Structure 1
Amino acid sequence: MPRVTIQQVAKAAGVSPSTVSNLLNGRTSKMVPATRQRIDHAIAELGYRPNRAARQLRTGRTQTIGLIVPSVGNPFWGSFARELEVAALEIGCNVLLCNSERNAERERRYVEELWEDGVQGIVLCSSLPSLDHLADLIARGLRLVTFDRPAQAADPESVVSISINNHVGGFLATSHLTALGHEQVAFVSGSLGSLNRVGRFRGYCTALEEAGIDPAAMPTWAPMGDTPFGDFEAAQVGREAARELFSGNGEAPTGIVAVNDMTALGCCRGLRDLGLTVGKDVSVVGFDDIVLADLYDPPLTTVRQPIARMAALALAEAVESENNQEPGRSVLLRPELVVRASSAPPAGSVPEARRGDEALEGDSALR
């Protein structure tokens, strides 16, 4: 297949090739948001990848960016790291990967070391509420791109946010179950100390309220405070939660919304330990659409994140620009609900017509 050229991207976006080049090289201080959005859309639609050799000849060096994820123990972060690295190599850029376990002190150490080694652009994926632990480095010129974390009022002006709408995602997952007839829907997560998880939980609550169900009356397993996030232990978190939710204390749920797919798969394993059948006795919905979601038996209903597009956007913002102190921006993308066999009407109810494995856009589901 012929390589897509910068001229084709420019034509699709209705701009000049030099304008596209300015965006790819971080020269966007005078570019209006609508122009940036048209170029981003054209790049994603055409599958454009900048010419690596040409960039190296122009700059005379290979740039390096940092990527700090919670833990590659969760396959979602491994997939995101791969997508970012593939895109980075195409433009002659290297990626240094760090696992922070969402620990602010550990993040600080990694960022300081990367900064001292000359790395000026970092993609940060922890989604912690505050960036205060990195404020001085940002003020000194660190180009910080936060991934899966909505922009906050207290964030430094130069910070860029690339995220899906987690609130809508949680709403989609939960409203799918309530539409099937589930009236006892549990939420399962590790600590709710990160903004992306809080967004998903709030979407869950909104969907229940719209269905006439009191969220406070629902069985939930979502520790607060200093409880570990469980990124590495997500499957075990889900397994333990399922056992506790079905311990016989109180009314057991007929449906479970999990904060991510690994937690959801852990729930499925825990339910199987108890002799229950996922998709028949209990419905389970995950979040992320990792590769294991479609391979599990039964295949997992989940909320999909467009990680290839998100990785491309994060890379474009993290590469060194002429002015790393230019104002940042916030990009909020659409999640999709992928319906598979792990979700069905409650046992004993009248079955509804089911759709197969399909993707449903989620930005119109919540106003």
Structure 2
Amino acid sequence: MANIRDVANHAEVSVSSVSNVLNNRTDQMRPETLARIRQAMLELNYQPNRIAQQLKTGQTRMIGLLVPSIVNPSFAMLTREIDRAAKASQYRVLLGNTYRQADEERAFLEDMFAHGVKGVIVVATAMDRPHFVEAARQGLVMVNYDSLMSRDTLNGNPPFDSVSMDNVEAGRLATEHLIQRGCRQLVFVTESSLTISRSHKIEGFFVAAKEHGLQQSARVIEGTAKFAYGDAEMTELGRALAAKILQACPVPDGIVAINDALGIGLMAGLRDARIRIPEDISVIGIDNIPLADLVQPPMSSVIPPLTEMVNMMMKRLLMRIENPSLAPEAFLFAPKLISRQSVIEGEKQHIR
């Protein structure tokens, strides 16, 4: 079996040059030298000893990804993007489903330390929990996705980066779209366990309603999931909430769903009740998962710039692993509207 010296001899370079390629230190290397080393590795079928590399560097080329539930389509789509970005930087992803349970989160962080992992992306989770702060104190680099810190936590200078869509703007944008299409009886539908991002979307809903003098007719309708925050049962919850929505007085003509999965379930429940979408009730979701364009009618949604957000997370994670003294920052990304056929094609109303 070929070793690093065999590769160096075959490529006619030094052992340190081969080591630089293995450790992704190629910024100062000539392209032809890099190509020659990679070709030598292929021709010799060279497999680097990852365990030896970890013992030498004190870290492994893996990152952790902590999500509430991979069953949630939004988190599944995010996981795919993170895996793509990690592989582009020659990293592997260790995935943990924690269902927002503190014990599961704590155990996952302990596993990361045990495997020599230096960086973790934490998705839609309350980062002010003590185990996250303690892990950061011990040197674990973390990026928080889609759960902006509270003002109290921000003033305390949290030891991790934050990357999020502007959820207030997402809620406002979705609601504004309904209003501009003529909807007046507005409802925001969500699971009752409120996270920071869910609360911000609801805030944006009321901001848009108030801007158009519709705050008196804007309501929130909640459903309680069987497990935790409902991350794994959003479509079922949406379908069940259709009956509750139709019992409201007056019945809404425009609905913002907390996410696309709940919105898709909601549309199925409304169709079961012989409600026409969008003629009777318009529905818009948030997240723009692939299924939103496949249901009938295709569902309008508010889309986060997911690729840009994931690239920023990977960039910050690797930068702060390389330079632990780098100060954490917060990054907020603007959402965009995707208009499909689940919202009525009414004339735009300009109400103030």
TM range (shorter): 0.7 to 0.9
- Aligned AA (1:283): S
**Structure 1 residues 218 and 212: CA distance shift in structure 2, 3 A:** same
**Are 2:286 and 2:301, in contact at CA under 8 Å, matched by a contact in 1?**
yes
Whole-Å separation in 1 of the counterparts to 2:142 and 2:223:
29
- Supply the distance in 1 between the matched residues of 2:282 and 2:171 (Cα, whole angstroms): 15
- How do residues 83-162 of structure 1 correspond to structure 2 at under 5 angstroms? 83-128=81-126, 130-152=128-150, 153-154=152-153, 156-162=157-163
* Structure 2 letter corresponding to 1:182: C
Pairwise CA distance, 1:163:
0.8
Tell me how far apart the structure 2 counterparts of residues 227 and 185 of structure 1 sit (CA, whole Å): 28
Q: In 2, Cα distance between the equivalents of 1:148 and 1:121?
A: 17
Pairing partner for 1:352 from 340, 347, 352: 347
Structure 2 residue ranges without an equivalent (≥5): 1-23, 26-34, 40-46, 55-59
Larger Rg computed on CA atoms: 2
Offset of residue 260 of structure 1: 0.4
Q: Cα RMSD over matched residues?
A: 2.7
The correspondence for 1:71, drawn from 69, 72, 79, is 69
Counterpart of 2:176?
175
Bigger mean CA deviation after superposition, 124-133 or 73-82? 124-133
Larger helix percent: 2
Task: Write the letter of the residue equivalent to 1:337.
Answer: L
Residues 76 and 288, structure 1, Cα contact 8 Å, conserved in 2: yes
Cα-to-partner distance string for 1:93-122 (whole Å, 9 max, x where unaligned): 010111122223321221121122211210
SS in 1 for 2:107: helix
AA in 1 matched with 2:332: L
Structure 1, gaps ≥5 residues long:
1-23, 26-50, 346-350, 355-367
User: What percent identity do the matched residue pairs reach?
Assistant: 31
Q: Which string of whole-angstrom CA distances, capped at 9 and with x for unpartnered residues, describes residues 176-201 of structure 1?
A: 11122211111111134211111101
AA at the equivalent of 1:193: L
Contact 2:119 2:141 in 1 (8 A): yes
Q: Is the 8 A contact 1:68 1:125 kept in 2?
A: yes
CA deviations 1:143-199 (Å, max 9, x no partner) are 010001223442554310011100000000001111222111111111342111111
For 1:106 and 1:154, locate their aligned partners in 2 and report how far apart those are by CA, in whole Å. 23
Q: Which residue of 1 aligns with 2:254?
A: 255
Once residues 232 and 110 of structure 2 are traced to their aligned partners in structure 1, the CA distance between those partners, rounded to angstroms, is 24
Which residue is 2:213 aligned to?
Answer: 212
* Structure 2 letter corresponding to 1:233: E
- Distance (Å, rounded) in 2 between the aligned partners of 1:224 and 1:296: 25
Aligned residues: 296
Structure 2 residue identity aligned to 1:329: E
Give the secondary structure class of the aligned counterpart of 1:119: coil
Task: State how 1:310-321 maps to structure 2 within 5 Å.
Answer: 310-319=309-318, 321=321
User: What is the deviation of 1:82?
Assistant: 1.0
- The 3-state SS of whatever aligns with 2:65 is strand
TM-score, normalisation: structure 2: 0.77
